[in-house]
Amino acid sequence: MSQKTWGGRFSAPTDKLVEQFTESISVDSRLFPHDIRASQAHAVMLSEVGLLTTAEAGKIVAALDDIREDLENNRIPFRTALEDIHTHIESELIFRLDKQGLGDLGRKLHTARSRNDQVVTDLKLWTRDSIDMLDHLLAELQRSFLDFGLRHRDVIIPAYTHMQRAQPVLVPHYALAYVEKFQRDRDRLADARKRVNVLPLGAAALAGSSLPINRYSVAKQLGFDEVARNSLDVSSDRDFAAEFVFGLSLIAVHLSNWSEEWILWTTTEFDTIELPDEFCTGSSIMPHKKNPDVLELTRGKTGRVLGHLHHLLVMMKGLPMAYNRDMQEDKPAMFDAADTVTASVQIAAALVRKAKIKTASVAARLDQGFLDATTLMESFISRGVPMRTAHEAVGLLVRECEQKKLKLSDLPTSKFDEVCPGEGAAVRAVLGVANSIKAFQSYGSTAPHSVETQLKEWQAKLA
């Protein structure tokens, strides 16, 4: 028998250049646990429907267990001539069972399946495991941000729009914003998992099988919730791959947003956050430098992940129905995107745990930038001044302060009386960032009572 799973049709051996060009074992070798697991379930099912005896299935399952152990310990060499992990495992199974005097038993395993449905089954099992692992890591990252907020519970920092100082917020309010973002990432992956968790195996090449297989048995053994309804769709489906990498891309984007912020915050100009030394590097020529390389690399790796999403979509967009070899190119994109995001999430969680707000530096500059201007405007509004009138009035007061190098709280009460007669003294009670923070009332705002409620809710959710 040819080493190829398809060798009988051909009269000449495969050119070495073709073997090197078409092999995928250098990429898909990591699928061996999933391929073995799916093959064992397939063997059990074949025995249930009478295509194998119970004893035959038992010998196949046992041999596959041994092969798994040898692969885990790097005792089976990979060869480009065997193309992919599926052929490596089947070839090794045939060899071992033949040595045991069991004849063609190993050659029976591939009954009623094709590499087309086999590879997508393995890839779905891997994707499902990756989603579960990422969910755990994202929860840990959320806990890190929650801890960051709790460690700086009463600290006020400026929040920005257009990179200009906007309004004051509590640090835990800021930290919980990232907790919310990563929760959406978790929810998005959980939703994608529903579509991943549909069994493809049994669709065979594209039309199904004329043999009396039981796909529901395989689904139950492998923990799939459903069985794919259309065999033609199975062979051509890589939607789940694109959806998974889209989820990874948004995680990477959120990490990049955070990295960009903290890179700025570490500068002398912002002087807002202190990163742990063990997560920074220095300069080969400038002895004073402390560079946020981890954050920069996290930001940089985002482009790599986004590129993999584009790669998958371009791969998919021109394919006719059923399997095409182009689909072999899905795994490099999926594997690298998952590896990159996994590493980024892990190191982000560790860094956030040890980072500290430079509270003295932040507090010394909180009165800069008129962070209390919007609250002043809303104080006027609450006393009957029309919103647009109040907006223009506060804008004029800010301009006057800029010209005279004053804070809003430096202005005399009479200035506020001009906007809202008789209410100047009451209005000025919201000035200053601490008073401004206390003035917030709306649900989801940075109001201290609202932030405390959110902290307690997230502590319970992430416990």
CA–CA separation, 217 vs 42, rounded Å?
9
- The 3-state DSSP class for residue 109 equals coil
* Distance in angstroms (rounded) separating the CA atoms of residues 315 and 318: 7
Identify the CA nearest to 14 among candidates 89, 91, 81.
Answer: 81
Greatest C-alpha distance within the chain: 103
The catalytic position among 2, 26, 283, 449 is 283
214 contacts: CB under 8 Å, gap ≥ 6: 45, 48, 49
Q: Phi/psi class of residue 111: alpha, beta or left (left: φ > 0; alpha: ψ in -120 to 50)?
A: beta
Q: Return d(Cα 416, Cα 380) in angstroms, integer.
A: 9
Whether 283 is catalytic = yes
88 noted as active-site residue: no
Nearest 5 degrees, angle CA 30-CA 33-CA 37? Answer: 145
Pairing of β 156-161 and β 356-357? unpaired
Of the candidates 162, 210, 284, 442, the residue annotated as catalytic is 162
Closest CA to 24 of 129, 134, 128, 118: 118
User: Do residues 142 and 458 lie in contact, with contact meaning Cβ atoms separated by under 8 Å?
Assistant: yes
3-state secondary structure (DSSP) of residue 384:
coil
Mind telling me the catalytic residues?
A: 162, 283
